[in-house]
Structure 1
Amino acid sequence: MLILKKLSVKPFAIIGHRGAKGVKPENTIVAIEYGVKSGADIVEIDIRKTKDGQLILLHDKDFKRLTGRAIPPSQVDFEFIRENITIDGEPVATLDEALQTVNGKAGLFIEIKEPETTQDVVNKVFEHFAQEWVAFISFYEEALAQVKQIDNSLVTGLIYMKPPGKILEAKDINCEFVLPYYKLATEKAIRFAHRLKLKVVSWIINDKDTARIFAERGSDGIATDYPDLMVKWREEIKRGL
């Protein structure tokens, strides 16, 4: 799987969080393009469903934080969103558009925010013949278990942010990697995950000194809001600077 090769880059793979959240409007096509062009190995996006079944890129349950409008996508059709809502001037993107934009030029992490959308998300990835360079990630174990039930060869990663972590749970549902909040990605935890043949992606890290610490701990991937800067820092870390 190409996505697993992307996660094997040394000293660590770089994952552009919500495309490139610190530089461009999050989860938009311009953010994805920026993440890919900046040299991120993988970009990450979040998926929710509209009232009429369109899969769109959105982290929160509604648009309030991004636009000031507390409108849940589940209560409106996609046409309404396209005509009335922008994120810092950028249109709300669809999963179709994200898959077309990445198109294997980088890996793609698709975070399933609503477990009931799992089948639709997987179907969309197959429609685009993208399964080689896509991984499905989620806080919801049931969503990732369903992905594996659909096709056991699909790559999955379990996200968590509360102690004691979910390394064993990830192994139990046949994930290939875990995504711990960086404070939980201790050297001991990373070693334990590696013993169970799980890769580790630590999030969110936005400075060089912390990135160096996680490189030394053996984190396989680092998710960042600034993939452009992390690409530069990775080269400096490799040279011992």
Structure 2
Amino acid sequence: MKRIVTILAASLALTAFTGSALGAEQGEAGKVLTKQQQQKMVNIAHRGASGHAPENTMEAFQKGVEMKSDYIEIDVQMTKDGELIVIHDTTVDRTTDGTGKVGDLTLEEFEQLDAGSWFSEAYTGEEVPTFEEVLDAFRGKTGILIEMKAPELYPGVEEKIADALIERNMSKPNNNKIIIQSFNHKAVKKSKELLPNLSHGVLTGGSWANVTEEQLAQFAAYADYFNPTMNIVTHELVSDVHEAGMDIFPYTSRTQEQAWRLFDLNVDGIITDFPEHVYYHPVKNS
């Protein structure tokens, strides 16, 4: 009974977690993974710590850093006048007070948008950041997982992303602190050609549940990561991805139970709205 109470207490403490990365030493031995095991799991703050602040804003990214995430994940698109902007949807309707397609708005028009009040009044006036602003603010502070969002809509976006990284001397490998990924695998190939020294990943949805070893081998020719929706992840898939020479970062964990399941499947990293979920993992009763 004491063991059960201890585990429940640890779970309640995790719910109250407000941002500091607590280590495994705060739990009793055998109740959670060791600190070394926890550190092995890569913690990726999805659109920043988007469970705590409006997604893809500087506040969300800063909170991800404060919560000791290994990476902040960002979505990059392009404005009408060719500027790189950080936003997830291909329209601004859901996460700002504006309307319209991302590619139909100029940077100046983006600067007038409120990207925070939809989440909470406390974030009223939060802006949609540019790609360059995010790079300049967070390089050297955390890893950055860059998703090229719908690159087929923005001819030349791969080159613009590469130019921004090269200009800042961020195009060389530095402990895999920059990773570029996309659902558009042709764009990933193109980016790899432009930035051969950086790690790249392919994003996949539910239709890839039955991905073959041959397909994984094809991905591995230009990608270092196979990052699927968490719903299709199995022990077999993780093993096959590792056999192909890639790591696997599933998306998007939003509950503690989902994070625990991914721990049990031996994935390499977890893309999550709540970075605190990745710090604790109870060991099952034997």
- TM-score scaled by length of structure 2: 0.75
User: Would you say 1:74 and 2:103 are equivalent positions?
Assistant: yes
Q: Secondary structure at the match of 1:79?
A: helix
| Change beyond 3 A, Cα 1:84–1:195 | closer
Q: Secondary structure at the match of 1:188?
A: helix
> Structure 1 regions of 5+ residues with no counterpart?
1-7
User: Would you say 1:129 and 2:169 are equivalent positions?
Assistant: yes
Q: Distance in 2 between matches of 1:121 and 1:171?
A: 21
Amino acid at match of 1:101: A
Q: Which of 1 and 2 has greater Rg?
A: 2
Q: Distance in 2 between matches of 1:152 and 1:80?
A: 34
Q: Secondary structure at the match of 1:65?
A: coil
Deviation at 1:206, TM superposition (A): 2.2
User: Would you say 1:98 and 2:134 are equivalent positions?
Assistant: yes
Question: Is contact 2:47-2:55 (8 Å) kept?
Answer: yes
Q: Which has the higher contact order (CA 8 A, sep 6+)?
A: 1
Residue aligning to 1:26: 55
Residue aligning to 2:121: none
- Note the aligned Cα RMSD (angstroms): 2.1
Residue aligning to 1:3: none
- TM-score scaled by length of structure 1: 0.88
Write the mapping of 1:110-121 to structure 2, written as runs, cut at 5 A: 110-113=146-149, 114-115=151-152, 116=155, 117-121=157-161
Q: Secondary structure at the match of 1:104?
A: coil
Residue aligning to 1:162: 206
Q: Structure 1 vs Structure 2: percent identity of aligned residues?
A: 25
The structure carrying a bigger strand percent of its residues is: 1
Residue aligning to 2:277: 230
User: Would you say 1:52 and 2:99 are equivalent positions?
Assistant: no
Residue aligning to 2:32: none
Question: Is contact 2:98-2:113 (8 Å) kept?
Answer: no
Write the mapping of 1:3-14 to structure 2, written as runs, cut at 5 A: 10-14=39-43
Deviation >6 Å, runs of 4+: 238-241
